[in-house]
Amino acid sequence: MNGKAQSTAYKAEPSAQNSEQGGAALTIKGVGVDYSTAEGTFTAVERVDLDIAAGEFVSIIGPSGCGKSTLLHSIGGLIPPTRGEVEFRGEVIGEPHPDRAAFVFQDYSLLPWKTTLDNVALGLQFKGVSKGERRARARDLLRTVRLEAFANSYPAELSGGMQQRAAVVRALAMDPDILLLDEPFGALDEHSRRQLGVEMAELLTTTGKILILITHSLDEAVFWGDRVVVMGASPGHVKEVMEISAPRPRAVDFMLTDEFVDARRHLLELSRHDLDGEPEPAE
């Protein structure tokens, strides 16, 4: 469905690998997730079908309880889907594989008893990379987000924005094909959130990786995504998929363009229509 060539600086992916899925590198095929609770079975995600091309950024937005985080965890192999499957280049993603899909979790996901450096090197440590090598690589990555001076600081000494920058490069340290961002800037104030968002979106665009961003913020969804997937609740389902054609990386000025404003208005109307009373927690 989204076979259109993105004109920006993605790494060109060999088309042979894509051809099988008609251009899709990541295929979410009829994925549904049920939880069993004391009261019975609860359907968090009913059914989601989504094809994502190499290098594509997809934002997922929706009200609380629409199962968007659950869907993201399923894509990364953390929650096995009850129905359907997630395939990357024809291979089913079962267990978490940080080399394939790495997470950036919500606020304060750094381990408080490890230094920033060792937090960034965490995935490499689990992979068995030697201490010297993983620290050297982590140090290089910290430099890309201007945190080299805080390599030996503990997370509590870092601001929320700095912690999330470290969390982003911790995911990059795995050099994954897919980045899964679960409301990564949700705990920041609006100003740092926008600033960091713009900076991180640019940094991650240059990597050419697939990126899926879960967010509550309409602005963030439109700013980051080549597509915005709008989910509805009870049970979680895809309501609409919206294309944002502006090339990435996008500058802050993109937020002043008609495309941005129109897309944002459309999303706002969508969320207003069927939330009946539940306020959209955007912004």
Partner 1 sequence: MSAIARTAGAKGSAGFQYGLKLWALRALLVAIIAGAWSYAAGPGGVADILLPSIPQVAAELGSLVKDPVIWRAAGLTLGEMAIAFVLGASLGIVVGLWAGRRNLRARVTDPLLAWGYIVPSVVFYPLFLLWFGLGSSSKVLYAAVGAFFPIAFNTIRGLKSVDPKFVRLGKAFGASKRQLDVSIKLGAAMPMVLSGVRIGVALTTIAVILGEMLAASAGLGFELAKSFNVLQTARGFAVMVILMVLVGLVQLVANRALSHFRH
Sites of contact with partner 1 (CB under 8 A): 76, 78, 96-99, 102-103, 105, 109, 111, 113-114, 122-123, 125-127, 157, 159, 170, 174
255-261: list long-range contacts, CB under 8 Å, 24+ apart: 255/219, 255/223, 260/222, 260/223
118-121: list long-range contacts, CB under 8 Å, 24+ apart: 119/155, 119/166, 119/167, 119/170, 120/166, 120/169, 120/170, 120/173, 121/170, 121/173
| Least distance from partner 1 to the Cβ atom of residue 139, Å | 18
Sign of CA dihedral 76, 182, 161, 8: positive
| Least distance from partner 1 to the Cβ atom of residue 125, Å | 7
Nearer to partner 1, 134 or 250 (CB): 134
Chain-centre distance for alpha carbon 29: 18
| Least distance from partner 1 to the Cβ atom of residue 78, Å | 6
**Which residues are CB-neighbours of 132 under 8 A, at least 6 positions away?**
none
| Least distance from partner 1 to the Cβ atom of residue 68, Å | 16
Nearer to partner 1, 170 or 250 (CB): 170
Nearer to partner 1, 114 or 216 (CB): 114
Strands 40-53 and 24-37: antiparallel
Angle at Cα 51 formed by Cα 50 and Cα 57, nearest 5°? 95
**What is the Cα–Cα distance from 219 to 222, expressed in whole angstroms?**
5
| Least distance from partner 1 to the Cβ atom of residue 152, Å | 10
Nearer to partner 1, 14 or 128 (CB): 128
Q: 69: helix, coil or strand?
A: helix
Sign of CA dihedral 90, 94, 100, 103: positive
Nearer to partner 1, 6 or 125 (CB): 125
| Least distance from partner 1 to the Cβ atom of residue 98, Å | 4
Nearer to partner 1, 55 or 123 (CB): 123
